[in-house]
Each structure stands twice: as C-alpha cells, then as structure tokens.
Chain A
C-alpha cells in the first residue's frame, strides 16, 4: 500500500514547480495539508506558455473589417445588377412596358447605380489595404 501511494505521487507530481506557490494561511496550523492542488494546473500552464511562445501573435476578429467587406461586395452586386437591368431593358426597346419599372424608379436607380459600383470598389480596395497593413504589422 505504501509503495503504491508513493508510486501514485510520483506519477501525478509535476516535474517543474509551479511559478506561484500557495501562500501559507495566517493563523492556520502549519501541519501539512493532505490535499495538494490538483495536478491539472501545471499542465494548463504549460499549454498557455506554449501558445504565447508562438511567433505569430493571435489574430483578433475585426467586425468593422467584416462589415466593410460585406458592404463593398453588396454595393458592387447591387450596382452591377441595376446597370445590367437598365441595359437589358433599354436594349429590348421598351423599358417601361410591364408597369413594374416605371420611370421614377428607373430614374432614381439609374442615378445611383454607377456610384454604388464605384463606392463598393473603393470599399473592397480599402478592406484589402487594411488587411494587408494588419498582416504586415503582425509579421514584423
């Protein structure tokens, strides 16, 4: 029984001492407490230090960058769709025959469609630029 208990202790005892030792409680008896801290603690410490030792710092999610990507792609898609719609309807000769695309709506979207594409392209370019600068900063 003695042997097996000793064997168990050597099995679960950490090889390296933990960095922070538990402070003795004042007023408490100095007799050794039978229950030592759980053996899991050194293992987790080792995992954390392994992650920190990595060369590349952890990449943080940037919600504004994601919003910029989504906005840019949506603007390009919307502007391109409206441009295509106007082009195809104009090419058929009678763009307002179905009553659905009346002049007012066409007039409004026709004004904005090129701007949608232009601003969407600018948004995508700036998103790529921000990502590139972030990548360079993380790898320097």
Chain B
C-alpha cells in the first residue's frame, strides 16, 4: 500500500471508530438518563435493563435515534475504507530499478 492510500485508509478507520464511539456515547447517555445512571453505566446496562424494558422503547416519549453526525461519520468512513482498498488494489508499487533500466535512464 503506497503512502497516500495508507493515509486514506487510516482516516477511514478513524472516521468509523469516531462515528461508532459517538453513537455509543449518545446511547449510553440516553439510557443513563432513563435509569438515573451515568453515561458509561447506561452503556453497560444497555444489554440488560434497556433491552428488556419495553417502556424505554415505547413509553419514554421518543425513542433513541442515532445522532446525524455519527451517522455521516460512519457512512463517510465506510465509503473511504472501500475506496482505499480499491485504490490499493489498482495502484502498483514501482518496481525496483534494474541495472539495465538504470543504464537507459
């Protein structure tokens, strides 16, 4: 993988991780506010109380939805990730110069 494509690849990973982190943070805060917990505790409780408590799903007033920023970060990250893989497949590394090639230059 050449250096610009590697940079693109790393940016895409950062976007994906950032988008998912914002989603989880927001979801933790949402659940934590419902049960009187902190955001991190709410995130931990996500797999137990929140999942079983249908009141959160229906009666809380409004359901949790993904923040638009996180949504777009993940989408851009996904597109960039696939594009960087495609570029890595298409771009070839320059071959090391042979003696004959160096003589003609």
A residues lining the B interface (CB < 8 Å):
62, 64-65, 67-68, 71-72, 75, 96, 99, 102-104, 107-108, 111-112, 115-116, 119, 122-123, 126-127, 130, 133
Contact status A102-B50, CB under 8 Å: yes
Q: How far is the CB of A95 from chain B (nearest CB, A)?
A: 11
Q: At the interface, is chain A mostly helix, strand, loop or mixed?
A: helix
Q: Flag whether B35 is at the interface (Cβ < 8 A).
A: no
In the complex, chain A residues whose CB is within 8 Å of the CB of B38: none
Contact status A103-B57, CB under 8 Å: yes
In the complex, chain B residues whose CB is within 8 Å of the CB of A68: 82, 85-86, 89
Q: Which chain B residues in 64-105 approach chain A with CB under 8 Å?
A: 64-66, 71, 74-75, 78-79, 82, 85-86, 88-90
In the complex, chain B residues whose CB is within 8 Å of the CB of A119: 78-79, 82
In the complex, chain B residues whose CB is within 8 Å of the CB of A96: 54, 57
B interface, size bucket: 20 to 34
Q: Flag whether B15 is at the interface (Cβ < 8 A).
A: no
In the complex, chain A residues whose CB is within 8 Å of the CB of B90: 126, 130, 133
In the complex, chain B residues whose CB is within 8 Å of the CB of A67: 85, 89
Report the nearest A residue to B65, measured CB to CB. Answer: A107
Contact status A112-B63, CB under 8 Å: no
CA distance A108 to B23 in the complex (A): 9
Report the nearest B residue to A64, measured CB to CB. Answer: B89
Q: Mark B37-56, 1 if CB is under 8 A from A, else 0.
A: 00000000010001110101
CA distance A130 to B90 in the complex (A): 6
